[in-house]
Structures are given as C-alpha cells and as structure tokens.
C-alpha cells in the first residue's frame, strides 16, 4: 500500500517576541518549517512566502521527485529576491527552510539554516539536519567544544539562509527510505534553544498522540521562558487508508477555479489572493501554522498572497482551459508588475507568451546568463587592475638601490631590502672587497640592515665613504727564531759562566721580543662621524 504522513503542528509567538516570524505546513506528503528573520518588516514575509510557495508540492507523482523539492526552494528564494527588489523596506529579510517530501516509499530532505529535523526510526533517535551556523562551523573545524556551543556569544549567527543575500543558496539534500512507524520532528530553533534533545526524544519516543506531543513540547518551551518563536511539526509514516487518498495537484474545486479566474482579472486583487490560497489549500488535508496561516486566513501580509497566488493561479488553470490560461498568464504578469508600485520585466509587451508557464518564465531557478555577465566583467577588471598594480610595483623596486651585506663583504644591491614571501625583491648589482669586520660597529650595523640610496651613483658614493673610514689592519707580529748558540748550549762545559754583563744586556729578553709593534691610534669619533657626504645623508634618511 502507498505511504502517507499522519501529522500534527503548532506554532507560538513565545514570551518575548511581538510577532511570529515562523511558518510551517504539513500534509499527507509534505512537511515544511521556516524560521524568518529580518526585524520588524521582513521575517514573517520571508517564512510565509516560502512555505506557501512549497505547499502545492503536497501530492504524489512528481515528474522528477529527486529534484522537485530543491528546485522549488530555489524558486521560493527568487520570489524573496523579487519581493525585496519591489519593496526596499524588506531588504535583509531571510528565512531558514527544512522540508521533507514523501514520494512513494522515499523521503526527500532539503535543508538550509538552523531549523532542525529529528528522526526516530528502529528505536534510534538522531538529529538528521546540520545547523548552518557560525558556531557549528567552529565545532566542525575542531575550534570549539560542543559543550560550549550554547553559551557562545555568536551561537545564532547563520551562515546560510534563503533571502536576498544569495541568488542561488546552497542546500543540504538527502534521501531516506521511509518505513511505516518511523517518526520525524521538524522545529524552529525556538524549541531546541530551550528544551534539551533528551526531552525531545522522550516525548517523540513515548508519546502516543501526535497532537499531544507538539502541545507538550510547546508548553515546555513557554515554561522555559520562550525567548523566541517556537514552531513544531511532528509526523509519522503510515500506510494509506481509503480516506487518505489525496487529489492530484491539477484537480481543484470549482471555488478555487473561480478564485483563480478572478485573480487573473486583477479585480479585488488582495481579497482574491487570500481566497485562492484558502481554496487551494482546502482541496487537500493539511495543517498550516504561524505567519503563513496569518497571511492566508486574514490577508494581513498581502505582499505574500499577491506574489504566491498569481503564480499559483496560472499553474492551477494551465491545461484546463486554454482561454483562461492565456488570461491568467497575461494578468499574472501585469499583477506582478504593480506589486508595491514597481514595474517588472514580465509586464513588458511580449515578455510572456500565451501557453508559457509563468512559474518557469518569472522564477526559473536556473541562473540567467545575462545576470552573470556584470559580475564576470567586474571580476575581470579587478583582476587586471590587481595584476597591473603588482607589475608596476615590481618595476619600481628594480629602480631602487641600497648598500648591504653579501656574506662577509659589502655589496651594492638593486631593488629593496624586503622580500615578498618567497619572492626576492633585490639582487646584487656589484660586489666589493670591503670586509664587514673592518667597518666601525655603527657603520657595520647600518650596512647589515641595508643603507638605502637615491640611485646607483649614490650607492657608489656610500661605498667610497665606507672605504675611506675602514679601521686599519694590525701589522703582523714578529716571532723570534731560536739562536744557534742557544740550541747548542746543552753541553754545560761549553757554557761561559763568566759572560760579561754587557753581553747579557745586549741579548733581548723574551718579554721584549714578544711585544708587537705599536698600533697607530684611530680616534673612535672620527671613524663613526666621518662617513660624510652621500653616506652620512643616507644614514640619516634611514634613521
């Protein structure tokens, strides 16, 4: 027998927030939770628009079940971009989205943001989704212990969401085999921020009534302070009963057909939009909660109903009545152009041809090549500018000179005395025979650090000044050779004990023989200060 979902859902504004930015939908084949963000004017619009755009997928026999959910979420993201373009007040709005589509015996998951999906199957409870948050990235990279996540100051910073921040956001996609009796729980972060996973597991594992499970979990969140909106969807996979059969997407009631026809005429647009959504949703069993319910039942978020239902009207009428379909396409494009008083490309003559699906014409999830050209051109210009700047900088360095150390000697270098990573920005232009150890201490230190020169001739002048102020080399020390008489005096009989004092004084003493010749004194001040002319100017300029 075919499989369906048995379900329950509840949403609450919480104890702190003034409005509910969460939305959720669950039916026989689809479950969606969206947590909107964007302050006073955007969060509820983003979540409601996304959920209402995905709701028509709640049926079987999709042409390509493996891609339809991801494609429709990308389509919903384009709608959010269009809403921001037509109303700048919505700039910065976004929403999370966690959705599951049951097709046959397979569950298709699509996820972005920090709303969560938990599963209880074969007695094992686990979190299936991964939070797209800054803190989770730190945990994945091993830079943060999971126990510190809840107290981290940036735990609510999202890295991926639907909205006007990205034309093609990256989704987490997965496929699971569905089994009778398995349970899933989808929720906004308002639940798991207050209620521990162990309690969620306990309720999901031991609860017998799905409605009781969602109400008990919401009540626990409220008791814990509920600083954020909280939304929960719980469903259980079951075999279809006779009364579980759901109609195909194209089968609509006469009231829905009339609402769709009226929507294409543009008469009473806001009222018709809400009526069409209600008729379309009521054609199949479902539960709708949060901002999406508010938008549908009260039409208090008209921008959502206008954007979603014009597209839905053409989809419902497509193929059922050619004349109505043609009118739906033309009126849908015109209505989209007047939303928030801004024109749309679809309103131009010939922009939409009869028989074209408005859903694909206006919100094709595939990237438009012409939209990419400005970015490609800008990237190319920036790359050329950067390459030109690098080349110009290198050419400039090769016009510079400085005096530096080459091993133990002084040398003239072309370039600058810094390196750019592995790239050397200088090379020896001319070597000299000036030894570093013959330079005064101060001069040697400056040479080893690199003495900049104005040009090549200036560098040669610095070398000449260094040569003029070298410390003189010490003369070689004379080493006395032993006399023949000294070496033959081993025989005591040949010694002359009566040597005269005059002869003894004439022989130099060993101490006098070992003394080196006097070293001419060099005034220390002149050695350090007399590096005059260009060299002195260069040292002063580098101080």
Four-point Cα dihedral 319, 325, 329, 334, nearest 10 = -160
70-74, 134-138, 330-334, 483-487 — which one is most confidently predicted on average? 70-74
pLDDT at 182: 98
Round to whole Å and give the CA distance between 489 and 494: 7
Reported as a single tens digit per residue, the pLDDT across 337-360 is 333 333 333 333 333 333 333 333
3-362 domain in CATH 3.60.40.10?
A: yes
What's the sign of the alpha-carbon dihedral 161, 166, 167, 172? Answer: negative
The predicted model gives 510-536 an average pLDDT of 43
Residue with the larger pLDDT of the pair 275 and 522:
275
pLDDT at 295: 85
pLDDT at 11: 97
pLDDT at 512: 44
The DSSP-derived string for 388-454 is: HHHHHHHHHHTT-EEEEEETTEEEEEEEEEEEETTEEEEEEEEEEEEEGGGS-HHHHHHHHH-EEES
pLDDT at 293: 92
Q: What is the DSSP-derived secondary structure letter of residue 26? A: E
Question: By C-alpha distance, which of 277, 82, 76 is closest to 269?
Answer: 277
Four-point Cα dihedral 252, 256, 257, 262, nearest 10 = -160
Question: By C-alpha distance, which of 216, 141, 215, 228 is closest to 188?
Answer: 228
Reported as a single tens digit per residue, the pLDDT across 356-388 is 333 333 334 444 444 456 778 888 888 888 888
Measured CA distances, 243 to 5, 248, 253 (Å): 13, 15, 18
The share of the chain scoring above pLDDT 70, in percent, equals 66
pLDDT at 379: 83
The predicted model gives 443-466 an average pLDDT of 86
Reported as a single tens digit per residue, the pLDDT across 192-207 is 999 999 999 999 999 9
Query: Is the pLDDT at 482 greater than 70, yes or no?
Result: no
The DSSP-derived string for 245-311 is: ----TT---HHHHHHHHHHHHTTTHHHHHHHHHHHHHHTS-EEEEEHHHHHHHT--SHHHHHHHHHH
Q: Is residue 127 classed as helix, strand or coil in its secondary structure?
A: strand
Round to whole Å and give the CA distance between 200 and 219: 12
Could you tell me the end-to-end alpha-carbon distance of the chain, in angstroms, rounded to an integer?
88
pLDDT band per the 50, 70, 90 thresholds, residue 82: confident
Range in 194-203, 266-275, 417-426, 430-439 the model is least confident about:
266-275
Mention every residue, 6+ apart, whose C-beta is less than 8 A from residue 79: 49, 50, 53, 307, 308, 311, 363
Residue with the larger pLDDT of the pair 284 and 24:
24
Q: What SS3 string covers 79-109? A: HHHHHHHHCHHHCCCEECEEEEEEECCEEEE
Query: Is the pLDDT at 496 greater than 70, yes or no?
Result: no
Range in 143-157, 186-200, 363-377, 435-449 the model is least confident about:
363-377
Round to whole Å and give the CA distance between 122 and 119: 10
The share of the chain scoring above pLDDT 90, in percent, equals 36
Report the side by side order of strands in the sheet with 401-406. 423-435, 409-420, 401-406, 451-453
Query: Is the pLDDT at 314 greater than 90, yes or no?
Result: no
pLDDT at 532: 41
Residue with the larger pLDDT of the pair 518 and 372:
372
Round to whole Å and give the CA distance between 256 and 456: 88
Q: Supply the mean pLDDT for the chain.
A: 75
Q: Is residue 326 classed as helix, strand or coil in its secondary structure?
A: helix
Range in 174-188, 279-293, 508-522 the model is least confident about:
508-522
Round to whole Å and give the CA distance between 388 and 55: 53
Range in 51-65, 178-192, 489-503 the model is least confident about:
489-503
pLDDT at 396: 80
pLDDT at 338: 32
Reported as a single tens digit per residue, the pLDDT across 202-227 is 999 999 999 999 999 999 999 999 99
Reported as a single tens digit per residue, the pLDDT across 6-26 is 999 999 999 999 999 999 999
The predicted model gives 32-56 an average pLDDT of 88
H runs (alpha helix) in 209-253: 210-223
Round to whole Å and give the CA distance between 222 and 234: 18
Main-chain dihedrals φ then ψ at residue 163, nearest 5 degrees:
150, -165
Residue with the larger pLDDT of the pair 525 and 245:
245
pLDDT band per the 50, 70, 90 thresholds, residue 471: confident
Query: Is the pLDDT at 75 greater than 80, yes or no?
Result: yes
pLDDT band per the 50, 70, 90 thresholds, residue 177: very high
Query: Is the pLDDT at 60 greater than 70, yes or no?
Result: yes
Round to whole Å and give the CA distance between 466 and 451: 11
pLDDT at 348: 34
Query: Is the pLDDT at 134 greater than 60, yes or no?
Result: yes
The predicted model gives 312-334 an average pLDDT of 41
The DSSP-derived string for 304-317 is: HHHHHHHHHHHHHH
- What are the residue ranges spanned by the domains of the chain? 3-362, 401-474+523-541
């Amino acid at each position: 027998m075919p499989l369906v979902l048995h379900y329950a859902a509840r949403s609450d504004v919480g104890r702190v927030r003034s409005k509910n930015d969460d939305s959720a939908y669950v039916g026989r084949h689809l479950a969606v939770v969206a947590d909107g963000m964007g302050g006073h004017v955007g969060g509820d619009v983003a979540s409601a628009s996304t959920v209402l755009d995905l709701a028509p997928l709640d049926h079987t026999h999709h042409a390509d079940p493996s891609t339809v959910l991801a494609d429709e979420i990308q389509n919903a993201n384009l709608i959010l971009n269009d809403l921001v373009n037509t109303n700048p007040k919505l700039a910065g709005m976004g929403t999370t989205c966690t959705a599951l589509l049951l097709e046959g015996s397979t569950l298709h998951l699509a996820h972005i943001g920090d709303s969560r999906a938990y599963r209880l199957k074969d007695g094992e409870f686990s979190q299936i989704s991964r939070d797209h948050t800054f803190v989770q990235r730190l945990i994945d990279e091993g830079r943060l212990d999971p126990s510190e996540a809840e107290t981290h100051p940036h735990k609510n910073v999202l890295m991926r969401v639907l909205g006007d921040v990205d034309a093609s956001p990256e989704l987490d996609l997965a496929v699971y085999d569905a089994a009778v009796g398995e349970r899933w729980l989808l929720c906004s972060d308002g639940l798991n921020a207050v209620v521990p996973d162990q309690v969620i597991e306990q309720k999901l594992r031991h609860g017998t009534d799905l409605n009781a499970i969602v109400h008990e979990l919401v009540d626990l969140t409220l008791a814990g302070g509920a600083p954020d909106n909280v939304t929960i969807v719980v469903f259980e996979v079951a075999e279809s009963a006779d009364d579980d059969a759901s109609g195909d997407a194209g089968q609509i009631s006469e009231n829905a057909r009339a609402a769709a026809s009226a929507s294409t005429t543009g008469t009473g647009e806001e009222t018709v939009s809400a009526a069409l959504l209600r008729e379309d949703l009521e054609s199949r069993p479902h539960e709708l909660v949060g901002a999406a319910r508010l938008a549908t039942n009260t039409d208090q978020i008209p921008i959502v109903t206008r954007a979603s239902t014009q597209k839905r009207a053409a989809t419902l009428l497509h193929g059922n009545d050619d004349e109505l379909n043609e009118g739906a396409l033309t009126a849908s494009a015109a209505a989209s152009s007047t939303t928030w008083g801004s024109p749309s490309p679809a309103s131009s003559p010939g922009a939409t041809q009869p028989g074209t699906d408005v859903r694909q014409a206006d919100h094709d999830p595939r990237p438009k090549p012409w939209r990419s050209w400005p970015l490609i051109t800008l990237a190319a210009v920036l790359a050329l500018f950067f390459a030109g700047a690098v080349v110009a900088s290198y050419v400039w360095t090769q016009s510079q000179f400085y005096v530096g150390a080459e091993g133990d000697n002084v040398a003239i270098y072309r370039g600058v005395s810094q390196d750019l990573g592995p790239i050397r920005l200088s090379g020896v232009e001319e070597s000299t025979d000036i030894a570093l150890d013959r330079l005064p201490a101060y001069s040697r230190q400056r040479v080893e650090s690199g003495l900049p020169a104005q040009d090549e001739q200036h560098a040669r002048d610095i070398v000449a000044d260094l040569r003029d102020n070298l410390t003189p080399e010490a003369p070689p020390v004379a080493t006395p050779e032993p006399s023949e008489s000294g070496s033959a005096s081993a025989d005591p009989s040949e010694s002359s004990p009566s040597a005269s004092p005059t002869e003894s004084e004439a022989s130099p003493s060993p101490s006098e023989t070992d003394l080196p010749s006097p070293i001419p004194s060099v005034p220390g001040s002149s050695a350090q200060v007399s590096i005059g002319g260009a060299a002195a100017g260069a040292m002063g300029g580098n101080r």
